[in-house]
Amino acid sequence: MAEPYLGNPGRCSAVLKKYGFSFRKKYGQNFLIDTGVLESIVDTAGITKDDFVLEIGPGIGTLTQYLATYAGRVIAVEIDQKLIPILEDTLSGWDNVEVLPADILKTDIQKIADEKNGGKPIKICANLPYYITTPILMALLESGAPISDLTVMVQKEVAERMVTGPGSKEYGALSLAVQYYTKPEISFIVPPSSFMPRPHVDSAIVHMELYGEPPVGVFDEKMLFAVIRASFNERRKTLLNGLSHFQEFDFTKEELAGAIERCGLSPTVRGEKLGLPEFAALANELSRMRL
């Protein structure tokens, strides 16, 4: 098995030059060129030879080389067809890697786990494109696939939203969704100098261990996330006004006010002040009203 070498900026540039590769803004491409960061990602993810890793957006294979060195098997999903021949070259020294040319948002992760790993839990590692971070995260979390944990690179601002609690300006629907499915922790910050080309913002590595069971019990997850979306659609609105203006609901304002009060909440409270248990209680009350 070869040794990882693409964390070296010079070698990374040489590969890009060899293939005449141009970065494409529509895919949010920023390749890591920092061996310390790459090693820390593998360490944060706790990758061992017992692990099956699904990588999203391998780029030219920089992180993939490290994952393949430490993991038992790696499946790398890459949307940019122009990168496939480059990956065939840069990953030729590893026989435990398979590149899947596909859009992760259209990929059946459950099928990959079943067919490639016997249905056993998989780890996710990704340097996520910043323009589509939330849709990818939600697709992974809602997939129902046997994911044990995720280790992802995201914009620092997004990482702070993922881990924050009620009352902060960063708190919102993403915070609640991530915290419903996982226990998120910011592992470390990554400066722009660790990338080629350099982004204009700091990045962060977030590790998320999925819960076996969510920390709150709900009758209907769709109702829970509808309540959350309604509460944060317009942050300045009170909880009651946010819910009553939400087009997906057919409750009257009086019915909503009653549900809020039965949960021990004030109709004038704002969603940003509520934690996951309060949202779960309200969602369950609305579910009961629909029975």
> Residue 22: what pLDDT?
83
Q: What is the mean pLDDT of each run of 10 residues along the chain (291 residues)?
A: 89 92 76 94 97 96 96 96 95 97 96 96 93 92 95 96 94 95 97 91 97 94 95 86 91 95 93 95 94 76
> Residue 131: what pLDDT?
84
Return the CATH class of domain 9-210. Answer: alpha beta
> Residue 2: what pLDDT?
87
The answer to whether the beta carbons of residues 31 and 12 sit under 8 Å apart is: yes
Q: Domain extents for the chain?
A: 9-210, 221-290
> Residue 24: what pLDDT?
73
- Tell me how far apart the alpha carbons of residues 92 and 251 are, in angstroms, rounded to a whole number: 59
Whole-angstrom CA distances from 53 to 45, 122, 223 are 10, 6, 32
Nearest to 150 by CA among 28, 58, 54: 54
> Residue 115: what pLDDT?
96
> Residue 27: what pLDDT?
66
> Residue 129: what pLDDT?
84
- Tell me how far apart the alpha carbons of residues 95 and 114 are, in angstroms, rounded to a whole number: 20
CATH label, 221-290, candidates 3.30.930.10, 3.20.20.70, 1.10.8.100, 1.10.760.10 = 1.10.8.100
